[in-house]
Structure 1
Amino acid sequence: MTAPSPDRRRFLAAGAAVLGAAACAQPWLPGTARATGRPLPDSPFTLGVTSGDPLPDGIVLWTRLAPDPLNGGGMPDAVCPVEWELAEDERFRRTVRRGIAQARPELGHSVHVDVRGLRPDRPYWYRFRAGGQLSPAGRTRTAPYAHQRGGALRVALASCQNWQHGYFTPYADMLAQDPDLVLFVGDYIYESAPTSTAVRRHEGEGEPYTLVEYRNRYAQYRTDPDLAAMHASAPWVVTFDDHEVDNDWAGEVPQDPDKQSHDAFVARLTAAFQAYWEHMPVRASAVPHGPHIRMYRRLEFGRLARLNVLDTRQFRTDQATTQQGAEASSMTMLGAGQKRWLLDGLHGSPARWNLIASQIMMAETDLLPGDGKLWSYDSWDGYQVERNALLAEFAGIRNPVVLSGDRHLTMISDLKEDFADPDAGVVGAEFVGTSVSSNGDQDEVAFHAQWDPLKADNPHWKMIDCHRGYHLFDIRRDGIDAQVRVVDSVVRPQATARTPARLRVEADEPGVHVV
């Protein structure tokens, strides 16, 4: 994508204009529910708009009708037609596509419009109308032409936004930086029960288990104004980690199988995936089938970058509990099918940069000072054989860069062919992005007292930091310039942002360097 121009740095006002109380629909529409003939409740677009998964000729547009967002949505149990419009200008004087989508009650009255026939590498503006009421306007952008060389791509990496731990203030700064794309690698919501000591209290009475409960939790998160503004300003590419369902789940195994039977957890997975689909700007290929959803996929940005989005939850074996277990050859994070898909996509890539969105940290974290190893078994360290085999493949891949989350800290590392060998070659770079709000405002002194003694055992770490925020990447043919963007606080609705570190990955030189 071309470098952002000054006019793209203006954010579109997100106020909804009410145009009247027209009836919602015709008497009958295809589907399982009757179309309502009554006016819609006021303010159906409380959850805003967003777009996602850009193609050179297409984009997914999303909204959900929810006039009472924290109580099941508040819509009639009926199909409602929603008009959509896509234009080349923010005043909608040059409309290029328009149509009608059906907001269905069995899908939470969510709307996913997969628009095609667009021009590559250009901005578009979009909006929705239902019951005579107009949504906020959103801005999006298509990917470059498939064979385009050069150009630039600005990507923001985010993850781990816990409503109860703080406000989503990093998004206000992200909005000002005007990325071409937001890559969110997991923990969009947290399934934890409400607590009275939280900065902001979760809705509901406990953890979500049913579809309505998950819908309410997503709806609460969507009402954060900074998150809503960022959703409306750029296309998103999303994948989930564990907290969208249950902490540290693996395959069809919950965190606490002694408390959640297999059948009960399968029902929970089914509800969680349905709510996830309803709230994310993803294509119909991701429509869930019971407790299964297809989220690993590949997006192209000309010949500049190929983005491989992983699913490190559905296909993994249950976490090991010992070092010996973590070194077993039977342990898999990706599953056989996804692993073949990933390797085929890496080896056959025509792109300058091969990006891998992995929810879980890939580089080693040795938690034991001195001799021996101590690993976190939920990360790639708990799947040693598969991880090491994948890193060996990286040696034959052009410019592999892993973008991760999960850890609630910034941890930027060289990826090595063998972390047990100090002299092993560097085969890539990894950026573990800090959390948007999870862990709240951490004590820097305590953080460094915990982590600094481990640096000698992890010489591949290039930078660690405990602040909340996100990472920003400017990707060009000759290199990737990365900024660690952090805020001073997430316990207040406003914050001040800064850049504590800048890093660079040179093309065809594996590893990352602090600038």
Structure 2
Amino acid sequence: MSDPTSSSSSARSASRRQVLLAGTAGAAALGASALGTSTGWASAPRGRGPISDPFRLGVASGDPLPTGVVLWTRLAPEPLAEDGRGGMPDRPVAVQWQVAADEHFRGVVAAGTELARPEEAHSVHVEVEGLRPDTEYFYRFRVGAEISPAGRTKTAPQAGARLDRFAFAIASCQAWYHGYFSAYRHMATEDLDAVFFLGDYIYEYGITEENLWRHGASVGPAHGRETKTLAQYRLRHSLFKTDTDLQAAHAAFPWAIVFDDHEVENNWADEISENNDAPQRFLRRRARALQAYYEHMPLRRSQRPQGPDVQLYRRLTFGDLMDFYLLDTRQYRSDQVGDAHRADPNRTLLGDRQKAWLREAVAGPTARWNVLAQQVFFSQRDFVAGADTNFSNDAWDGYAVERNELRDHLAATASNPVVLTGDVHANYVADVKADFNDPGSATVATELVGTSITSGGDGQHQRPGDQVQLQENPHITFLNRQRGYVRNIVTPTEWTADFRTVDYVTRPGAPVRTRASYVIDNDRPGARPA
């Protein structure tokens, strides 16, 4: 299937390539004319001394609303400093910011100054307001004479406004040490309105010779330990964010982000750790992990953690076309159990408050397409042949009653329900059935599962055992284990999902291709090959 192009999208791509050059090579690479350094800025603020090259972790934007967006950066002239402070002094630093209608910053529409504080790792979260709906903008930061790379962002259309097209990518699971983020380099050149990241932005494991598969890369001994302290979590985020392909994708589009487990610890559930540490001890670790997570993400103040707790679930609306419900499947869940207990009606993945919020939201006024942007496999997935069963206890299969209740509620109340999923390092397409044990039952929704960016290393189409999955779960219609992302182009009449894959990640430079495309028709749940 050929990639859609138009004169308008080509013009956007041209300006975006300028942004990507800035994101990759630094602001100086474009020169004063491209960055408009002689226009718009006030005189350099007075400080206690120059901070050289503070924008080495790039820039980002996120959670677009009709009249505003979050802008992010973190000052870190030495991003891999082992103390996690990024080489910054122990004092607040004034950071200027600008938003402009053009990539040359001749038409600045908003500007201000924020303090980057040491207690938040000198990160900056600017909640810009007063922008025009459904409009492309460019932004940048300044400290003294240092100017950041430029980023591109876009506001959402007004809720209810007619929207004829929305394009976005989903991504998840980016183990830096397993390979190069080449998929992000390709994503950054797409004609997208947003990126939805579905979890596992970092991994907490120590990086050793055994798991460092990124050819030519090396790390110091400080990276060899599992992340548990605030300094270690900050250092791990910094390591991942030094990747210029990741920086380019952040600079090209606004991102909407949720975490899964590895941002804290593998397979954690509420206050229960993987290794059953004392709850208070684990909650202290969770608080440190979530603080570092917030410091490195383009999140709003409403997502700033309060100790070990954070309000992650939220709704983003794009005109009359798209409603996204970003979920939290970690903070409120019951502990994982085996198959014998999966049908316990008291088990929850969402928790009472989040479940009530979601049920009310999808039952009220909504857009044409209603999308759960979430972390773990939603559809039933039995891994063994025959009468015996083996389900993932970390996925929705381990919380079957709540999953089925949510499925039935979506089918009864929401138009065009679609579930977007990460976590499993593979591409899947699944028809969400009214009864997963009856292949002839009605299809009531669609699940699209995106593969990893790098986690698992070089991928393959399928591996031994996958045919058993497909035979035991006939509602799963596509399975592929290469690396990449899913590009989605949505109109009022159909949703096209392109599974964009690269053949290798352990070395750089892999080309991208569309491995498969599936279409969901308006008012017809389930996906068909394009």
Coarse TM-score class (shorter-chain normalised): over 0.9
Counterpart selection for 1:417 from 434, 437, 440: 434
Once the two structures are superposed, what CA deviation does each residue of 1:396-448 show, in whole Å capped at 9, x if it has no partner? 1210000000000011100112212222211100001000000111354xx33
CA distance in 1, matches of 2:397, 2:44: 53
Q: CA deviation at 1:370?
A: 1.4
Q: Aligned pair 1:148/2:161, yes or no? A: yes
Alignment of 1:90-489 (within 5 A): 90-197=103-210, 198-200=212-214, 201=218, 204-257=223-276, 260-320=277-337, 322-396=338-412, 397-444=414-461, 447-489=462-504
* Alignment partners' CA distance in 2, 1:501 and 1:171: 18
Q: Does 1:6 align with 2:13?
A: no
Deviation of the 1:373 alpha carbon: 2.0
How many residue pairs get matched?
498
> After TM superposition, where is structure 1 displaced by more than 6 Å over at least 4 residues in a row?
none
Cα distance, 1:345–1:189 mapped onto 2, change above 3 Å: same
Q: Is the 8 A contact 1:357 1:402 kept in 2?
A: yes
Structure 1 alignment gaps of length 5 or more: 27-35
Q: Say whether the 8 Å CA contact 2:169–2:488 is kept in structure 1.
A: yes
- Name the SS of the counterpart of 1:511 in structure 2: strand
1:395, 1:231 → 2: CA distance?
34
Are 1:500 and 2:515 matched, yes or no?
Answer: yes
Residue type of the partner of 1:252?
A: E
SS in structure 2 of the partner of residue 383 of structure 1:
helix
* Contact kept? 2:160, 2:367, Cα under 8 Å: no
Q: What amino acid does structure 2 have at the position aligned with 1:385?
A: V
Taking the aligned partners of 1:147 and 1:443, their CA distance within structure 2 comes to 42
Q: Which amino acid aligns with 1:428?
A: A
Structure 1 CA distance for aligned equivalents of residues 144 and 326 of structure 2: 37
Mapped to 1, the partners of 2:45 and 2:309 lie a distance apart of 33
SS at match of 1:363: coil
Is residue 188–residue 240 contact of structure 1 (8 Å, CA) maintained in 2?
yes
8 Å CA contact 1:502, 1:514 repeated in 2? yes
Is the CA contact (8 Å cut-off) linking 1:25 and 1:37 kept in structure 2? Answer: no
Contact 2:60 2:71 in 1 (8 A): yes
Give the Cα separation in 1 of the matches to 2:127 and 2:441.
46
Residues 73-105 of structure 1 deviation map (CA, whole Å, 9 limit, x = unaligned): 110000101000000000000000000011000
Give the 3-state SS of the residue equivalent to 1:231 in structure 2.
helix
Contact kept? 1:24, 1:38, Cα under 8 Å:
no
1:231-259: CA deviations, max 9, x gaps? 001000000000000000000111111xx
1:29-56 alpha-carbon deviations (Å, 9 max, x no partner) = xxxxxxx62222x110000000000011
Q: Distance in 1 between matches of 2:168 and 2:110?
A: 27
Kindly indicate whether the alpha-carbon contact (under 8 Å) linking 1:146 and 1:303 is maintained by their aligned counterparts in 2: yes
SS in 2 for 1:218: helix
The corresponding residue for 1:16 is: 27
- Separation of aligned partners in 1, 2:267 and 2:127: 32
Range that drifts further, 72-81 or 416-425: 416-425
SS of the counterpart of 1:338?
A: helix
Which AA in structure 2 matches 1:67?
P
Tell me the CA shift for residue 347 of structure 1.
Answer: 1.1
Who is 2:91 aligned against? 78
Partners of 1:23 and 1:38 within 8 A in 2: no
- In 1, are the aligned partners of 2:470 and 2:477 still within 8 Å (CA)? no
Residue-by-residue CA offset, 1:152-200 (whole Å, 9 max, x unaligned): 1101000000011111111111112131100000000000101113124
Residue identity matched to 1:16 = A
1:68 aligns with 2:75: no
Structure 1 residue 482, shift from structure 2 partner: 0.9
Partner SS, residue 232 of structure 1: helix
Give 1:454 shift: 2.4
Query: What SS class does the counterpart of residue 124 from structure 2 fall into?
Result: strand
* Shift, 1:261, TM fit: 2.6
Residue 350 of structure 1 aligns with an amino acid whose one-letter code is: T
Q: Deviations over 1:448-498 (max 9, x none)?
A: 322112212100011000100000000110010110000011011111111
The offset of 1:330, in angstroms, is: 1.2
Report the residue type matching 1:411 in the other structure: Y
1-structure distance, mates of 2:278, 2:464: 40
Could you tell me which amino acid in structure 2 is paired with residue 199 of structure 1? W
Q: Distance in 1 between matches of 2:427 and 2:141?
A: 38
Query: 1: CA distance between counterparts of 2:467 and 2:160?
Result: 45
Aligned letter for 2:13?
Answer: R
Residues 185 and 357 in structure 1, CA contact (< 8 A), matched pair in contact too? yes
Q: Does 1:55 align with 2:71?
A: no
Aligned equivalents of 2:445, 2:118: Cα separation in 1: 46
CA distance in 2, matches of 1:55, 1:428: 27
The alpha-carbon deviation at position 8 of structure 1 amounts to 1.0
TM-fit CA distance, 1:23: 11
3-state DSSP class of the match of 1:449? Answer: coil
Q: Which residue of 2 aligns with 1:44?
A: 54
Structure 2 Cα separation of the partners of residues 417 and 132 of structure 1: 60
- CA distance in 2 between partners of 1:155 and 1:383 (Å): 29
Q: One-letter code of the match for 1:275?
A: A
Contact 2:138 2:153 in 1 (8 A): yes
1:147 is displaced (CA, Å) by 2.2
What percentage of residue pairs aligned between the two structures are identical?
46
Shift of 1:349: 3.2
Q: Distance in 2 between matches of 1:398 and 1:278?
A: 36
CA RMSD of aligned residues (A): 1.8
Question: Mean Cα displacement is larger for which, 147-156 or 431-440?
Answer: 147-156
Contact kept in structure 2, 1:24 and 1:37, CA below 8 Å: no
